[in-house]
Amino acid sequence: MSVDGFVGRPTGDLDWMTWDMDDKSANYINELTDSVDTILLGRKMTDGFISHWENAIRDPGNPEYAFGKKMIDKPKVVFSNTLKKSEWINTSLATGDLIDEVTKLKEQNGKDIIVYGGATFVSSLIKNNLIDEYHLFIHPAAIGTGLAIFGGVNGKHNLKLVQSIPFKYGVVVNHYEPKA
Amino acid sequence: MRKIIIFNMVSLDGYFEGPNRMIDWHNVDGEFNDFAIEQLDSAGGLIFGRITYELMAGYWPTKEAITDDPVVASKMNSLPKIVFSKTLAKADWNNTRLVKSDVNNEIRRLKEEPGKELYIFGSSGLCVTLIQNKFIDEFRVIVNPVVLGKGKPLFAGLKEYHKLKLIKTKTFKSGNVLLCYEPEN
């Protein structure tokens, strides 16, 4: 997220973000990733997401290789009203009502579930009260306008800050839970 | 060179005001008040655009403000203030100078004066102009643990993205998070 609350430029560009992570932030992200066994994806984001990580794991020398393996190996669920079958590895489709599909997944046994985007998809999840934890990485940039994830929220909602951790590379992670 | 610092309370979704200029969501407590006082003590003056000026001028000199928040009210009311506006006829809030002429020339002049830091609160339109002309030395936000859904974005109208450098953070017991940045270059 930018300092001014956006998750992408209006075009979806992430060129304003900072990627030279330090050990502490890499550990945070690895721990978070290891705590989940399922990744939810909005339809629009899926192609880019999967091709990025498939590319990263082509070469074991790629610094993104280890994380890429996790992204490719973990079961993924793509939400789409229009697709008939999944074109991607380790990926199934959720084609029914959003709340029904996500509730079904949450009721299963297993580790936690993570969603990274896209903005429209995450907005729907938030609007329908389906999110239990927010890990918002605040990047050191002001972008003026762009994609939002809280636009569907009806009125003021308080959250509980669980922790806020600044990292040396300038990003701060703010971890929140919805307040009961 | 005198520093100019932008400070705002913001929601998680990047609004400094809710719909209808609502700021009732501001998460304030004793710890925040101490921070506000410390900030005002380091200030040599305050700079405003018209809208924020009118809102503040309509509140801080009132009996309600002086009763609720005597220390902050006293500092807000006594600090030298500048409001930039081509349309305001007069600016009556104690110790205010109304500037109708070019913002950039005046800011340049102010920065070359000796003195303590100058703060801008709210005044989003003015901030965008000053950010784009590279007059801002520090960006400070307190991110409140609240989502509004709708409101006025912090830097609406900014033409390009501006990369920043994180210089300081502080977590408050209330769940507020203070983030301080300098421009990257």
CA torsion, ordered A127, A130, A134, A139, to nearest 10 deg? -40
Provide the H-helix boundaries in A37-175.
43-56, 65-73, 98-107, 119-127
pLDDT (tens digit per residue) in A129-178: 999 999 999 999 999 999 999 999 999 999 999 999 999 999 999 999 99
Mean pLDDT, rounded, for A27-49: 95
Residues of chain B contacting A16 with CB distance shorter than 8 Å: 161, 163
Closest CB from A5, A141, A172 relative to B12: A5
Chain B interface, mutation test: which of A150, A168, A175, most B Cβ atoms within 10 Å?
A150
A3's CB contacts (< 8 A; 6+ apart) are A138, A139, A140, A141, A142, B14, B139, B141, B154, B164, B179, B181
Q: Which pLDDT value is given to residue B1? A: 87
d(C-alpha B53, C-alpha B47), whole Å: 9
CB contact under 8 A, B162 and A6: no
Q: How far are the Cα atoms of A6, A13, B29, B129, B151 from residue B16, in angstroms, in the given order?
A: 14, 24, 18, 17, 7
**Region B118-143: what's the mean pLDDT?**
97
B128 contacts A6? CB cut-off 8 A: no
Plot region of A103 (φ>0 → left; ψ -120 to 50 → alpha; else → beta)? alpha
Share above pLDDT 70 across residues of chain A, in percent, rounded to a whole number:
99
d(CA B65, CA A88): 61
A-chain residues near B177 (CB < 8 A)? 161, 164, 172, 174
In chain A, which residue's Cα lies nearest the Cα of B12?
A5
Q: Both tokens of residue B157?
A: 């109208």
CA distance A78 to A92: 6
Q: How far apart are CA B17 and CA B148, in angstroms?
A: 9
* CA neighbor of B8 nearest in space, from A22, A165, A142, A48: A142
- At B185 the pLDDT is 74
Q: Please report the pLDDT score of residue A136 as a whole number.
A: 98
Question: What one-letter code names the amino acid at B44?
Answer: G
Given this model, what pLDDT does residue A92 score? 96
Restricting to B residues 111-140, those with a Cβ less than 8 Å away from any Cβ of A are 128, 131, 139
C-alpha to C-alpha distances, A17 to A14, B15, B138, B179, nearest whole angstrom: 6, 20, 19, 17
